[in-house]
Structure 1
Amino acid sequence: MKTSRLLSLSAITLSVLLFTNCQTEDESVSTEINQESSKSEASAEVYPLTGNEKIVTKMFFGEETEFNQVDNNLILGDMILSPEQVEETNILEKGVIRRNRHWPKSGSYYYIPYTVDSNLPNKGRVTSAINHWESKTKIRFIKRTNQRAYIRFRSGSGCSSSVGRTGGRQNITLASGCSTGNTIHEIGHAIGMYHEQQHPKRDNYVTVNFNNIKSGKASNFNKRSSSSVRTSTFDIGSIMMYGSYFFSKNGKPTIVRKNGSTFNVQRRALSSGDLSVIRRYYN
């Protein structure tokens, strides 16, 4: 009887130790929030393109990057950038968003004026996403009156957003398939965040399978310069991180863990790593 109890206690102790070790390893890349998400949701996070757009190549965070040019904007995945913004990443600031790309502070909070188009379906996802941001950060959303710079939530194809404060009206476009999590992600862009899979330290934790990426989409996986990120820790659980099948041309994963396993896209909540980045942006 004593022998059986000792064996049981030993097994429990070993399990606790293994769990603790795994937890420590996961914490080095932040805690991933398990969230089932379909490939259709993953593919929704793109700016709607006709296929006839001009392709332009520009240096972006020190890497040659292919953009789709739409009017006077440069499109990369779901991000809308001006030529001036792209150029800013290659000058003295070396990728650090200039102060005028931040939303203004008043008292203890940063305020973002916004409007919601009357024909936008499922307006609750906007309300829920805004509530999530306000519950976790010092960013507050106010209904626009006469402010020149503001976000307009509108209906359209795909999910997309400008990056940072542009100084005028900027759109967050939400197709009917864009979830609350997608909306949180697009607000992240509007606040100034880029995609996590471009983190300069990502290769220590994940492998990008460029052979599986659709033609013309590889630039979405270019790494940023070390001086352009606000935290040195890669966060696989970031709401700004691509899932394993983003921009796959053949149904095979474009990003896997170092052990070859795939992971779900996380579109439920801001991770602890995301909040760390936001504190550095807006502090």
Structure 2
Amino acid sequence: MTQNTTDQAQGRSCDVQQQASVATLKVPEQQQDSAETLQELDDDMVVEEGDILRPEDRNAVESIWQHGVVPFAISDELAPQRDNIYAALQMISDVTCVHFMPHTTQYNYLQFVTGRGCASFVGAQGGAQKLYCSPSCSVGNICHEVIHALGIHHEHTRDDRDQYVSVAWEHIKRGKSKNFKVKYGNTLNLQYDLDSIMHYGKYFFSVDGSPTVLTKQRGVSIGQRTHLSHLDIQRLNRLYRCDNVW
């Protein structure tokens, strides 16, 4: 990355430093649908787990953003959400080596567009990569989607999740059970994280207001969207090999 590019990224970071404290729109714990469970279909994309976009090409390869630099553009329709988007990016750049910079001529970039909820692809897809953002998306919701775009999946789909949570299948909305299926992948040798910003909430996709995800450890809350947990930070820094950069 050139010095001018670095200066530009750092300049943008400084511009949004004070915006990082924008208050998030807290989702009540018993709310059955969050902004991350509203997106169903857009264009030719299939939505999985409420907010993960998958191209029709099932062979599409997920990858990380080169050098940890993510150019981004915000559509004019999202002007009311601009401060929240900057604050969400700041939540990540403050604790990792990932840099966000305004898109200019780069071929690969993150494109924030309006949608019926919050939704993102997982990992860098190539070209103008859409991240959907509705007025109901809080700072934390947007941060959650950006972390998807950086290459991180939902925490509750890890193959070791049954050691930490139980899924109440009988309380899940019809047709939504697939959102709770285990996926096998790279955990980066980090333990399961109930406090992760990437974890489902207790009532996600509930058909009757009953919990759909129950922790096996008493007194532990799940589904927070206010901060990156210690393990969230470690996971991103390992994925982007930040120890080799900082």
| TM-score relative to the length of structure 1 | 0.70
Q: 1:240 aligns with which of 187, 198, 202?
A: 198
Which residue number corresponds to residue 4 of structure 2? none
Q: How many residue pairs align between the two structures?
A: 214
Change (3 A) 1:203 1:249: same
- Structure 1 counterpart SS, 2:76: coil
User: Deviation of residue 36 (structure 1)?
Assistant: 6.0
Change (3 A) 1:142 1:207: same
User: Deviation of residue 149 (structure 1)?
Assistant: 1.0
- Taking the aligned partners of 2:219 and 2:167, their CA distance within structure 1 comes to 12
Q: 1:155 aligns with which of 114, 126, 131?
A: 114
Q: 1:43 aligns with which of 34, 43, 54?
A: 34
- Taking the aligned partners of 2:46 and 2:168, their CA distance within structure 1 comes to 25
Whether 2:45 is the aligned partner of 1:73: answer: yes
Which structure 2 segments of 5+ residues have no match? 1-24, 242-246
| TM-score relative to the length of structure 2 | 0.79
- Taking the aligned partners of 2:192 and 2:222, their CA distance within structure 1 comes to 16
**Amino acid across the alignment from 1:157:** R
Which residue number corresponds to residue 267 of structure 1? 225
- C-alpha RMSD of the superposition: 2.3
Change (3 A) 1:259 1:282: closer
Which residue number corresponds to residue 213 of structure 2? 255
Which residue number corresponds to residue 66 of structure 2? 104
- Taking the aligned partners of 1:41 and 1:172, their CA distance within structure 2 comes to 23
Report which of the two has the higher share of strand: 1
Larger Rg, first or second structure (1 or 2): 1
- Taking the aligned partners of 2:189 and 2:121, their CA distance within structure 1 comes to 22
* Structure-to-structure mapping, 1:177-216, within 5 angstroms: 177-216=136-175
User: Deviation of residue 148 (structure 1)?
Assistant: 1.2
- Taking the aligned partners of 2:144 and 2:33, their CA distance within structure 1 comes to 12
Identity within the alignment, %: 32
- Taking the aligned partners of 2:31 and 2:83, their CA distance within structure 1 comes to 21
User: Deviation of residue 252 (structure 1)?
Assistant: 0.4
Q: 1:281 aligns with which of 220, 239, 242?
A: 239
